Structure 1
Amino acid sequence: MNIDRFRARLAAGESQPLDWWHLCRERIAVREPEVQAWEVLAPRTPEPPAAGLLRGVPVGLKDIIETRDLPTAWGTGGYLGTPGSLVDAALVTLLEQQGALIMGKTVTTELAYFTPGKTRNPHDLTRTPGGSSSGSAAAVAAGMVPLAFGTQTAGSIIRPASYCGVFGFKPTFDAVSLAGIKSFAPSLDTLGWFANHIEDICTTFSALTRAPAIDALPSLDGVRVGVRSLPSDRVLDADVQRALARTRIRLERLGANVVPLPLDERFAALVEYQKEVMAYEAAQTLASEHRQHADSMGPRLVALIEEGQTLPYARYRQAQQAAIELRQVLSRGFVDAVDVILAASAQGVAPEGLQATGDPLFCRAWTLLGVPCLNLPLGRGHQGLPVGVQLIGERFQDDRLLAIARTLMGGGSG
């Protein structure tokens, strides 16, 4: 079942607006005890929505997204928390205006950094689901909701989507409002979402942005795809290399022109620049939390904040200026050379263990550049674990990126 099919069933009188909700609650009762994707569930059945592109669609919200009717703890394990906010996050209102049903809050890492929560990967309960949007990715992968929301500051949409085998979309920076969502690094934080169907990623983008419906293209003839992961000097696991190769073959069979993407040597510095921007801004954004609760915080979060406190403004300015310049360089590349970029989502499959959430290395540069990124769950690695690849588009060409992805997913088996 996807969102468009459910809407068609509602229009035909074959389903009722709360049917999907009840199916999801049944699924949660089965899978939640082992996956542990939820921080809190809605205590009661909602009123049936009357209309909207997302009418009757149950959704999960990362537990840094504020709500009036549900508590928020920001993944802190109790040292911070509120029983309810004065107002809903803008996202919550936009979703409800489109008829969506808030199923509950999903588990996040501590303040959306690296200290993991309780969530496990639905494909292997001994492995991480990724982070920081751990619960949202796992809830969708386990079939507990068709749609869930998270945020990305480094790799917190794309990486867990790859590990959990779902679509994960990080739109262009600032394309969707973050009002009412806990900030970590304001020039990087981006709202995104997870789904099991590319059609649902597209419908949700239209619902939240009022963009026209995004359909598949007639073909990929003439579409230019550049192949380039950042950083380019790190060796990818064999599973990821195979997934990229298979995706390239699939694109070429559908008519796309796939070519290596040359980027000048300045792009190699973007990963370190992203780390510096994140540390500098987190030290400011989380200054109050650090002053009051440093003894309760995870050591990696404390270390990042304290690193940011010592980072010179001149270094932060240099990183931001480099990002501005390289966005312009990349924009010229999207005009002259490629329409989308094919890249690795992560270095390999979900790592074993639940004490960490994996490395966002292959997402950091793209997040700093502010471009839209989409994880495609097209591969399987060792032990049948999911392996994703990402398609990347030009800023504010999200609809073009999604149309190409929808065409790719609908054409051939690769």
Structure 2
Amino acid sequence: MSVRSPLHRPWSLVDLVADLRSGRSTEADAWQRSGARIDETEPELAAWVIHRPPAAPAHPSGRVGPLGGIPLGVKDIIDVAGLPTRCGTDLYAARPPAEADAAVVQAWRRAGAVPAGKTVSTEFAFFAPGPTRNPADPTHTPGGSSSGSAAAVASGQVPLALGSQTAGSVTRPASYCGVASMVMTRGRCSTDGVTGLSASLDSHGLYAAQVRDLACAWSAFVGQEVVHGDPSSHPRVLLWDAAELGVVESDMAAAVTELGRAIRAKGAELSAFPAAAAVAETTAAHAVVMAYEAARERSALFEDIDRLSDPLAALLRRGASTTTADYHAARRSIAVSRERIIGLFEDVDVIVGPAAPGAAPEGLDATGDPVLSRAWQAWGLPVVTVPGITDGKGMPLGMQVIGSPNCESELLAGASWISEVIAAGFPP
């Protein structure tokens, strides 16, 4: 993988956990490394709203949880006890600290991860960007809305960070910043303590350097063995080129085609994705549902709508003008097509396609287009973003690997295999 910035230096969770377990490193060493890297890179990247490491090792008497006290970035729409949740908005500048951890933070603490602070979110996890820059090239957007978490992992400030996704807020930043990510099956973990945007669409996500690091984190989270890629085990793959959405740029389209050839050359069963019309219809339905629910879930914001960014104000106004009949029609459409898509997994293991239209756009005034994630998010499916491909300018291009609901371990196995195919010499 060719990335042109020295700021891009992800930190392997697998290697860190192995060092902690063997005694080659300690929790204090991990926090010292994290702090030093933040000191080195944060002035340029601006990934953090609040960086507040513990005053002393969280587990001074020994390792607690399989992750052993590793530093964790937490997106600033997710509550961490003792820290304010500001949601990327000046409206919450004076918000008091949260009294308790969000349910998902509690779960990661049980796995042994310790919050290092709050990472930048776009305004209320929508489109208005924060100050964060892309470690692959600081003149390009890191994507959004989980901007700070993606940048913190891509730069090696922390080995693991939490995000959330309502449209493409985890998958797109991973693709742009050149790291791995996973969106959990919707409902896999409670969203209590999270300032959401759309109740039927919001999902949890996480970032790590590579797919094997996601697998390490996931096994700690759910208490299962780490998933490793097995080059001799060939998954059944549907290749989705997203042509029906009309947004995929030439470098990404070429990468999808070449990846399909490489998958077939490795002996996997590869077929074309047969439900393009369902993706297009569900992409449109997702936008209706998201706007309608956001206008109601964040109805208090109408009091300050003139202080909101133009994109968020427009979303809320559009949602408020959407009829209940149109909303329910969109929900029905999503439910019907979801049954068809889930049925595909009776004959295939994963669906593979582009994670974003192309590389991260230049400039910091927008966060890119989430359109390639909308349908999968509407269906509530788990998604892994696999890094390792770059465009002609050396900027990252991510591939998303989609799995069946509540089958994250199996999805990670398939994504790990795809990662091995890419690492084996995928064309630049």
Name the residue aligned to 1:274: 286
Match of 1:410 in 2: 420
Q: Measure how far apart 1:235 and its partner are.
A: 4.5
Q: How far did 1:233 drift?
A: 4.0
1:127 counterpart (115, 124, 140): 140
Number of residue pairs aligned between Structure 1 and Structure 2: 411
Structure 1 unaligned spans of 5+:
none
Q: Does 1:99 align with 2:109?
A: no
**Corresponding position: 1:141 with 2:154:** yes
Deviation at 1:289, TM superposition (A): 2.4
User: How many Å separate the matches in 2 of 1:315 and 1:9?
Assistant: 54
Instruction: Tell me, in whole angstroms, the C-alpha distance in 2 between the residues paired with 1:78 and 1:382.
Output: 41
Kept in 2, the 8 Å contact 1:220–1:255? The answer is: no
* Paired amino acid for 1:289: L
- Which residue of 1 is the match for residue 331 of structure 2? 320
Report the 3-state secondary structure (helix = DSSP H, G, I; strand = E; otherwise coil) of the residue aligned with 1:116: coil
Q: Structure 2 vs 1, CA of residues 325 and 43 (structure 1 numbering), >3 Å: closer, same or farther?
A: same
C-alpha RMSD over aligned residues: 1.7
Structure 2 residue aligned with 1:376, among 374, 386, 401?
386
Which residue is equivalent to 1:18? 28
Q: In 2, Cα distance between the equivalents of 1:200 and 1:81?
A: 36
1: CA distance, partners of 2:276 / 2:361: 32
> How far off its partner does 1:80 sit?
4.9
The change in CA–CA distance for 1:195 and 1:81 in structure 2 (over 3 A counts) is farther
Indicate conservation of the 8 Å contact 1:54/1:95, yes or no: no
Moved more, 107-116 or 239-248: 239-248
Aligned partner (choices 56, 60, 65) of residue 73 of structure 2:
60
In the alignment, is the contact (CA less than 8 A) between 1:79 and 1:296 conserved in 2?
Answer: no
| Shift, 1:96, TM fit | 1.7
Kindly report which structure 2 residues correspond to 1:136-215, keeping only aligned pairs within 5 A, or say none.
136-215=149-228
Superposed displacement of residue 127, structure 1: 1.1
Q: Helix, strand or coil for the counterpart of 1:342?
A: strand
1:310 to 2:321 alignment: yes
- Separation in structure 1 between the aligned mates of residue 349 and residue 322 of structure 2, nearest angstrom: 37
Equivalent in the alignment of 1:245: 257
1:6 aligned partner: 16
For each residue in 1:205-231, what CA deviation from the matched residue of structure 2 results, as whole angstroms up to 9, or x when unmatched?
A: 22223344323336233x211112446
- Tell me if the contact between 1:172 and 1:370 (Cα under 8 Å) persists in the aligned partners: yes
Q: TM-score, normalised by structure 2?
A: 0.92
Taking the TM superposition and a 5 Å limit, the aligned residue runs for 1:68-79 are 68-79=81-92
Q: Are the equivalent residues in 2 in contact too, given 1:60–1:103 (CA < 8 A)?
A: yes
2-side partners of 1:199 and 1:267: how far apart? 29
Q: Which residue of 2 aligns with 1:85?
A: 98
Please state if 1:367 is matched with 2:380. no
Q: Distance in 2 between matches of 1:99 and 1:11?
A: 12
* Greater alpha carbon shift after TM alignment, 246-255 vs 53-62: 246-255
Give the whole-Å Cα distance in 1 for the aligned partners of 2:103 and 2:145: 21
- Decide whether the 8 Å contact of 2:241 with 2:256 is kept in 1: no
- Deviation of 1:306 after TM superposition, in Å, equals 1.0
Residue of structure 1 equivalent to 2:407:
397
In 2, the alpha carbon distance for the partners of 1:5 and 1:142 equals 16
Cα distance, 1:43–1:373 mapped onto 2, change above 3 Å: closer
Post-superposition offset of 1:353: 1.1
Cα distance in 1, alignment partners of residues 328 and 93 from structure 2: 32
**Structure 2: stretches of 5+ with no match in the other structure:** 1-10
Aligned to 2:356: 346
User: Kindly, what percent of the aligned residue pairs are identical?
Assistant: 38
Contact 1:114 1:301 in 2 (8 A): yes
Give, in whole Å, the separation in 1 of the partners of 2:243 and 2:165: 18
SS of the aligned residue for 1:39 comes to strand
* Residues 297-329 of structure 1: per-residue CA shift (max 9 Å, x gap): 112111111111111111111111111111110
What amino acid is aligned across from residue 340 of structure 2 in structure 1? V
Kept after mapping to 1: 8 A contact 2:244/2:277: no
